[in-house]
């Protein structure tokens, strides 16, 4: 969680300093969902993510040096600088990509699960998506499909309270995401998405069912986006009082107070923060030194047959 937080803090520094050219969506405040779910995953399991996917990538084991280089648009990036923040993928750890389209990852996760079954593999799929995705067709289609074919998929709705600049509650009818999943007959749990232990336990229970071949499951994890929709959104649609109130439930602060209560020394906690910070400083330095793509790189990796000239 601290690595995710520090990665994104440094991504913002890179953007504000003009070193990161493109759009970055930060998940600051939402780290417990990524960490709590992915702590239950194996390397060969698949994850499909969202436009706000740094946390899911890091929690699944993607290399932060390559991720940071990708944000810088460098050839040493996870995607050789061709994707940027919204498309970070690391296939070597089963991370099938962030996605620039809301709900875009749902079918990908379901398809990877169907492939695993066909190939006789034990890999399962986890699909992260936000509150906005539950109002798109792929949410219905994907849950229905996974249920019809009893596929090993854990759907995780990370409700950060905002669909871009708009409160999710104002655009979602009925009883919400969990009720919709239940209506499709998918096993559902709801937990506090800022409580990493609760997320971990619920995901563990649901993944046990998923791995046992009992079909898909759905985890609803309400959390709160402490930053804007993008790095250039100052979020004028909420009050500073609301933000301050939510900061008191920052998942990392909550975890720290748990550790204090459990007798962990303050200096040990600070050591964790320091290590994460130093790791990201090194990642930024490496990204600065890395080479930029050339014009020729714009023409590669498009297609083999009928490749661009």
Partner 1 sequence: MSVESTVKTTTVTIAEAARDALAEEMRRDPTVWALGEDLAAGGIFGTYKGLLDEFGPQRIVSTPISESMIMNVGFGAAIAGTRPVIEMRILDFALCAWDELINQIAKARFMFGGQTSVPLVVRLPQGIGRGFQAAQHSQSLEAWLVHTPGLVVLAPATAADEKGLLKAAIRSDDPVVMLDPKSLFAASGEVPAGDYTTPIGEARIARQGNDLTLVTWSSLLPAVLDASEQAAEAGISVEVIDLRSLWPWDRACVLTSAARTKRALIAHEAVLVGGFGAEIAATITEETGVPVARIGAPRIPVGYAPILENTYRVTADKIFEAIRKATGSR
Query: Could you say whether residue 212 binds partner 1 (CB under 8 A)?
Result: no
Residue pair 38/62 in contact by the 8 Å Cβ criterion: no
Q: Which two tokens stand for residue 269?
A: 């906690």
Task: Please identify which residue in 48, 154, 202, 231 interacts with partner 1, judged by CB under 8 A.
Answer: 48
Q: Which two tokens stand for residue 1?
A: 């969680």
Segment near partner 1 (CB under 8 A); pick from 84-92, 224-232, 254-262, 280-288? 84-92
Residue pair 19/69 in contact by the 8 Å Cβ criterion: no
Query: Between residues 61 and 197, which has the closer beta carbon with respect to partner 1?
Result: 61
Task: Please identify which residue in 63, 117, 209, 238 interacts with partner 1, judged by CB under 8 A.
Answer: 117
Q: x/- string (CB under 8 A) for partner 1, residues 144-183?
A: xx--xx----------------------------------
301 class by beta-carbon count within 10 Å (0-12 exposed, 13-18 middle, 19+ buried): exposed
DSSP label at residue 127: E
Query: Between residues 35 and 108, which has the closer beta carbon with respect to partner 1?
Result: 108
| 280-285: long-range contacts, CB 8 A cutoff, minimum separation 24 | 280/3, 280/6, 280/7, 280/9, 280/10, 280/64, 280/68, 281/10, 282/65, 283/7, 283/10, 283/64, 283/65, 283/67, 283/68, 283/69, 284/10, 284/13, 284/14, 284/19, 284/68
Give CA angle at 280 (101, 257), nearest 5°.
90
Query: Could you say whether residue 308 binds partner 1 (CB under 8 A)?
Result: yes
Segment near partner 1 (CB under 8 A); pick from 8-16, 168-176, 257-265, 295-303? 295-303
Task: Please identify which residue in 109, 157, 255, 284 interacts with partner 1, judged by CB under 8 A.
Answer: 109
Task: Please identify which residue in 12, 22, 93, 141 interacts with partner 1, judged by CB under 8 A.
Answer: 141
Query: Could you say whether residue 116 binds partner 1 (CB under 8 A)?
Result: yes
Task: Please identify which residue in 11, 41, 64, 89 interacts with partner 1, judged by CB under 8 A.
Answer: 89
Query: Could you say whether residue 61 binds partner 1 (CB under 8 A)?
Result: no
Task: Please identify which residue in 14, 36, 53, 142 interacts with partner 1, judged by CB under 8 A.
Answer: 142
Query: Between residues 265 and 298, which has the closer beta carbon with respect to partner 1?
Result: 298
Helix (H, G, I), strand (E, B) or coil at 246: helix
d(CA 14, CA 24): 10
**Cross-strand pairs, 221:** 158
Which positions touch partner 1 (CB under 8 A)? 46, 48, 77-83, 87, 89-91, 96-97, 99-101, 104, 106-119, 123, 125, 137-138, 141-142, 144-145, 148-149, 300-306, 308
């Amino acid at each position: 969680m601290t690595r995710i937080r520090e990665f994104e803090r440094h991504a913002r520094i890179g953007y504000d300093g003009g070193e990161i050219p493109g759009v970055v969506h930060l998940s600051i405040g939402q780290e417990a969902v990524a960490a709590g779910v992915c702590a239950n995953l194996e390397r060969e399991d698949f994850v499909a993510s969202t436009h706000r996917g740094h946390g899911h990538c890091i929690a699944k084991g993607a290399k932060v040096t390559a991720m940071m280089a990708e944000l810088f648009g460098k050839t040493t990036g996870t995607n050789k600088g061709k994707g940027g923040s919204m498309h970070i993928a690391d296939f070597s750890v089963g991370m099938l990509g962030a996605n620039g389209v809301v709900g875009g990852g749902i079918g990908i996760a379901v398809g990877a699960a169907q492939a695993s079954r066909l190939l006789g593999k034990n890999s399962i799929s986890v699909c992260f998506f936000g509150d906005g995705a539950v109002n798109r067709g792929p949410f219905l289609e994907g849950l229905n499909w996974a249920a019809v074919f009893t596929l090993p998929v854990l759907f995780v709705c990370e409700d950060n309270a905002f669909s871009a600049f708009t409160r999710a509650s104002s655009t979602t009818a009925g009883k919400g995401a969990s009720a919709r999943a239940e209506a499709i007959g998918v096993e559902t749990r709801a937990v506090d998405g800022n409580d990493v232990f609760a997320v971990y336990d619920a995901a563990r229970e649901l993944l046990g069912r998923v791995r046992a071949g009992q079909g898909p499951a759905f985890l609803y994890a309400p959390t709160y986006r402490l930053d804007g929709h993008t790095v250039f959104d100052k979020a004028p649609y909420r009050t500073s009082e609301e933000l301050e109130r939510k900061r008191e439930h920052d998942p990392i602060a909550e975890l720290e107070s748990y550790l204090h209560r459990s007798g962990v020394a303050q200096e040990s906690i600070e050591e964790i923060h320091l290590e994460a910070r130093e790791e990201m400083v090194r990642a930024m330095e490496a990204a600065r030194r890395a080479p930029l793509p050339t014009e020729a790189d714009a023409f590669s990796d498009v297609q083999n047959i009928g490749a661009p000239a």
